[in-house]
Every structure is written in C-alpha cells, then in structure tokens.
Chains A and B, each alone.
Chain A
Amino acid sequence: AQTVTQSQPEMSVQEAETVTLSCTYDTSESDYYLFWYKQPPSRQMILVIRQEAYKQQNATENRFSVNFQKAAKSFSLKISDSQLGDAAMYFCAYRRSTGANSKLTFGKGITLSVRP
C-alpha cells in the first residue's frame, strides 16, 4: 500500500522569505502523480502543484516549486516570497497513474503560518 509521510506538523516563515515543506512517500509503482494541496482555514482545499513521476524536471507554478527526488521518494514544496495568504494547511498527496481516477492518498498535513 502507498503511504505519504509529512513529519513536520507546523512551520513558520517570515513574510517575503522562502520556506520548504517536506514530504516522503512509499510506493512500489514506477509511474504515479504527486500533489501539494492547500487548505486555508475554513475554506476548501485547492491544488497548488502537481508532478508526474516520469518527468525529471521539477514542476513550478509561479512562487511554488517542488524538489522531486524519485530515488529517495522525496517530494518537497518550496514557497518563495511568502505572503500572508499562504498561511494554511498543506497536504502532500499521491495517486497512481493507472486506473481511471484512482484515489488520492494524503499525508497528515503541515500547518504553515506566515509572520508579518
């Protein structure tokens, strides 16, 4: 079975600084997707960034980028120029690539606070 581990329960960053959120996963599959989701307080979960396992290039979306290390099964999220609106819970998630709409397996999440 696939597992996703987020070992840091909380992190804090100064506004305008950079922060990195860690995630490791375990799978026997060779092809899969990895995601970072953001869940603001009392608001719905939204997709921040995704990475296909077959791609060597790390995904980037504006201020968000990932460091995908397939051999180490590591998938960290870097947030540059942190903003107050980045404060939220962040979940790392895994999904098999085969099988239509296969389920997401989430980590426990990390609470990110942004200091003004």
Chain B
Amino acid sequence: EAGVAQSPRYKIIEKRQSVAFWCNPISGHATLYWYQQILGQGPKLLIQFQNNGVVDDSQLPKDRFSAERLKGVDSTLKIQPAKLEDSAVYLCASSPQRSYEQYFGPGTRLTVT
C-alpha cells in the first residue's frame, strides 16, 4: 500500500511570495489533515477534510492560507503572501473512516527568507 505522498519536499521563497503544497492521501482514506510543524514544536492542525468537506479549520490563518480537496482525494495548501513566521514543515496525514490512526506523509519543509 502506497503511503501519503507530498510535494515538493523542500521549498525556499521570499516573503510576500506565494507557495502551494500538494498531498495525495492513501487510497480510500476519507479524512485528510494538514499540520504545521514549527521547529522545536509539535505539529499543529491547520485544517481537516472529511471527503471534500471541511471539518475543522479553526486554526487556519484564513487571511493568507487556503486549502482545497477537490473530488475528495488529493489536496493543495496555499500560502499567499508568505511571512517569515510561516517557515515550518507542513505535514499531510490521512485516516480511514472512523479510525483513530493517522498516517503521515514526509512533509514539505518551507523556508521563507
């Protein structure tokens, strides 16, 4: 079974630029999560999708971050415009329906200069 795929693995941009990350969850997993992991901290949930609907986006900075999950499969997370404090690893995870376990992708390391 293929794992959660993310791209790119690394990205360096200047502040005020835009960036997009892509995630392809494990086939058949209904739930998809985006986490932000700042260096030295644990992951923080940004947004959770159930199929293609948003379940929780309470910690997503909506003035600059957006996410979509078209057709309930893969997902993109966008930052526009980026700030220095957005430098972090962005993790995508997926989970089967009604399951406690989340499967994580390798993450995208974003550096904003």
Contact = CB atoms under 8 A, between A and B. Distances in A.
A116 to B, nearest CB: 26
A106 B43 contact: yes
The size bracket of the interface on B is: 20 to 34
Contacts of A50: 100-101
Interface stretch (B11-19, B44-52, B70-78): B44-52
A108 B41 contact: yes
Interface of B is mostly: loop
A108 B45 contact: no
A18 B95 CA distance: 32
Given A33-B100, A44-B3, A101-B98, A108 B40 contact: yes
A46 B104 contact: yes
Interface in A54-111: 91, 93, 95, 97, 100-101, 103-104, 106-109
Interface of A: 4, 33, 43-47, 50, 91, 93, 95, 97, 100-101, 103-104, 106-109
Task: Give the 9 A-B CB pairs with smallest separation, nearest first.
Answer: A106-B42, A45-B104, A101-B31, A103-B45, A44-B106, A44-B104, A106-B43, A91-B42, A108-B42
Given A43-B106, A44-B107, 9 more contacts: A44-B4, A46-B104, A50-B101, A91-B42, A93-B42, A95-B100, A100-B97, A101-B55, A103-B33
